[in-house]
């Protein structure tokens, strides 16, 4: 059973993330208005908090997620729930996802 509250869409978007004692890059492989999944050369622990900069080709600047939490982690993939986005970033994300 899928517990997600919003639909996720397959994408291939570069992402940079940083948090407490971790910084890295990867690829967002699915994206929704409330979260995403990332493939990376880094392993993140469930419960870790990070901020994200997602490069979206159709946007003039990277999409900024101020705070996300790791909900699951398997090997070099992890799932994030978005906890804090500025209102303007939330609008940009919703516009992009609507086009998917």
- Backbone Cα Rg of the chain: 12
Query: In terms of residue numbers, what domain contains 68?
Result: 9-99
Does 28 have pLDDT greater than 80? yes
**CA distance linking residue 68 with residue 94, whole number of Å:** 17
Which secondary-structure segment (H or E) carries 44?
Answer: none
Q: Is the pLDDT of residue 4 over 80?
A: no
Note whether residue 76 is domain-resident.
Answer: yes
Please write the tens of the pLDDT for every residue from 57-75.
888 999 999 999 999 999 9
Instruction: Locate the DSSP E strands across 20-94.
Output: 22-31, 35-40, 49-54, 63-74, 77-84
Q: What is the reported pLDDT for 68?
A: 98
Phi, psi of 78 (to 5 degrees): -150, 150
Residue 45 domain flag: yes
Q: What is the band of 7 on the pLDDT scale with cuts at 50, 70, 90?
A: confident
Instruction: Give a yes or no: residue 4 inside a domain.
Output: no
Q: What is the CATH number of the domain that holds 54?
A: 2.40.10.220
Counted domains in the chain: 1
Residue 55 parent element (H or E):
none
Arithmetic mean of pLDDT, 26-30:
97
**Contact by Cβ (8 Å): 85, 68:** no
Query: Would you say residue 3 lies in a domain?
Result: no
pTM for the model stands at 0.90
Q: Is residue 42 part of a domain?
A: yes
């Amino acid at each position: 059973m899928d517990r997600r509250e919003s639909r996720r869409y397959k994408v291939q978007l570069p992402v940079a993330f940083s948090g407490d004692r971790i910084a890295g890059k990867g690829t967002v492989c699915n994206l929704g208005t409330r979260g995403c999944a990332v493939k990376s050369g880094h392993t993140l622990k469930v419960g870790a908090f990070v901020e994200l900069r997602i490069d979206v080709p159709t946007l003039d600047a990277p999409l900024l997620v101020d705070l996300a939490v790791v909900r699951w982690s398997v090997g070099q993939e992890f799932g994030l729930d978005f906890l804090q986005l500025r209102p303007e970033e939330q609008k940009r994300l919703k516009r992009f996802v609507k086009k998917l």
